[in-house]
Structure 1
């Protein structure tokens, strides 16, 4: 099963490479987050800012959308 972060990127039609380029973070950092099973608990402010920059969204909007996605997944699997 994909991580919340990877699902979020897929839903927004953007790659980790694009986030790394536009958000000025290492691809390896994004790889770690994308492979994490810790959900939103493992996503730092730096990642939220980079993702927001790449998507043209505010970091708190990205976090809110990630939380909503996480909530949906929790309800689907319970």
Structure 2
């Protein structure tokens, strides 16, 4: 597994480069939109969220959260993103 660390200036520069940012977002969206309907379903987003393992790694240490806890957190995130 690789780890990438970005500083704030790198992120701001990327976002301010509107063309590069838009191309990146569109490419990533197209990759996630498996059924090509122009929308991201919960299942499509869940696969991406699970691959990031945000809630499973803390300070470089793997943790094993309960599946129901992850489902609750991911469901809440999806609901918040849709709003």
**Larger proportion of helix:** 1
Report which of the two structures shows the higher radius of gyration computed on alpha carbons.
2
Q: Which has the higher contact order (CA 8 A, sep 6+)?
A: 1
Q: Comparing both structures, which one devotes a greater share of its residues to strand?
A: 2
Q: TM-score, normalised by structure 1?
A: 0.32
